[in-house]
Amino acid sequence: MLEENKAIVERLLKAFNEGNLDVLDELVAPDFVGHVGCIPEDLQGPAGLKGFFGTTRAAMPDVCHPSWTLIAERDLVVTHTRLEGTFTNEFMGIPPNGKKVVVWMGNIWRLVDGKAVEWWVNMDTLGFMQQLGAIPPME
């Protein structure tokens, strides 16, 4: 089960990298909940995750996770990865600055019966917002 769960999360990461959001219907449960600290409300179901991934890709068309580490325990898969992309279009009301964004992330995916049912995003939100230009860097 651990290797199967890791394979599912790896497919989710690859789908994000490729912009292949249709595969989320296969990999994400209808009652999925995504907890993303930089947005005010939890993501709901495959449509919520598709919307978030799509919004991120629209803001940074070259966005990707170039590499990752996966660790599995029981029904959880932890990912350690970085997100990088060039901020060329508006994101959450923030105007683009054309700069490359790089942020490290540690995420937890919970899987049941071969589908993602919950996702917790843990990232350097302050650094991310500073790179987007939404928050000035500290002096």
**76 lies in some domain:** yes
**137 lies in some domain:** no
The enclosing domain of 30 has a CATH number of: 3.10.450.50
* Higher pLDDT, residue 44 or 92: 44
- Per-residue pLDDT band for 84 (boundaries 50, 70, 90) equals very high
What total number of domains does the chain contain? Answer: 1
Check: CB of residue 102 under 8 Å from CB of residue 82.
yes
56: containing domain: 2-132
**32 lies in some domain:** yes
**93 lies in some domain:** yes
| Angle, helix 45-59 to helix 2-18, in steps of 10 degrees | 40
Count other Cβ atoms within 10 Å, centred on residue 10.
Answer: 14
pTM: 0.92
